[in-house]
Amino acid sequence: MRFLTIILFITLILSGNLYAKENKHYHPEEENHCIGAGPQSPRDIDNPVGSNSVFFEKAPSIKNMNLCNIHFHRNAEHKSAEYSTFVKDGDNSGWACQKPADGRLLKKHSEYNGCEGIAEGDTIETHWVYTTCDIKTEGVKPLGEGLNACLTTICPNPQLEVVAQVFVLQKNGKYKFSESPITHNDPTVVYTGSTTGTRWNNHNCSPLQVTWNVKKTCDTLDIDNFSDWCSNNKYKEHHAHGVRELVTSKTLLSKISTSK
């Protein structure tokens, strides 16, 4: 019974962490649910400062993990020098790779070739999510879609790693989209944090722990190729997700000690 209760608790948390239609706004009188929470995400990855005291082991190499989900956010959740232009865009407010052209925010984001919530010129942050759970053996059933695809009934609390890369969507962009992170020699930052998405904020922290591997630079991604993947992928990720507000309090951040 205790085991089933733990599974139910984690499932309920995960079902909303990146995909729920949440509200970023909170009232000052709300209880602070970040007391005692582990390090949070997203963050300014150019700033290594952090003093959160919760420590957890970093995930193993993704070569020894299983890809369980790919999704994306309109505007970058993380911030770095190359994506540091703030875009005020409702629940999608985040960071752009370059100063948006005049009228960019007037573009409709209803659908682009079957991919919901994107337009040419948008910055997106793409997340490849890996799990230590065995999700490939025949007969193994993940708990659901989204991040629930990273869990099974016998593996309810896996180690997770998210590889994040930031792109500008353009006609005939430099890169085509891939089911694997795009190989590059650009600098990246590795740090311990949490899941993201607009359900969480600085008063309501995610309890789940993630190893992040975030690319610090921007590339252009072919929007037509990407929209083809978006409208037909096996993860059923057909729309841009919202952006969690940037975490800035050092008490909610881990210290960044690893860069590549």
- 120-151: pLDDT as tens digits: 999 999 999 999 999 988 888 898 888 889 99
Q: Can you give the pLDDT of all 260 residues of the chain as single tens digits?
A: 444 444 444 444 444 444 434 445 444 434 567 878 899 999 999 999 999 989 888 999 999 999 999 999 999 999 999 999 999 889 999 999 977 655 566 667 778 999 999 999 999 999 999 999 999 888 888 988 888 899 999 998 889 999 999 999 999 999 999 999 999 899 999 999 999 999 999 889 998 889 999 999 999 999 999 999 999 999 999 999 999 999 999 999 999 987 66
Distances (CA, A) of 199 to 70, 130, 154, 213: 19, 21, 27, 22
Q: What digits encode the pLDDT tens for the residues 96-123? A: 997 765 556 666 777 899 999 999 999 9
CA nearest 96: which of 105, 110, 85, 108?
Answer: 85
Spell out the residues 6+ positions from residue 193 whose beta carbon is closer than 8 angstroms to its own: 39, 40, 41, 42, 43, 209, 210, 212, 253, 254
Query: Distance (Å, rounded) from C-alpha 218 to C-alpha 11?
Result: 34
In angstroms and rounded to an integer, the radius of gyration of the C-alpha atoms of the chain is 18
Query: Distance (Å, rounded) from C-alpha 76 to C-alpha 83?
Result: 7
Q: What is the pLDDT of residue 147?
A: 85
Distances (CA, A) of 62 to 95, 152, 159, 212, 229: 27, 18, 11, 11, 22
Q: What is the pLDDT of residue 109?
A: 77
- The pTM (predicted TM-score) of the whole model is 0.85
Query: Distance (Å, rounded) from C-alpha 15 to C-alpha 7?
Result: 12
The tokens 């573009």 sit on which residue?
Answer: 107
Residue ranges of domains in the chain: 2-21+39-259
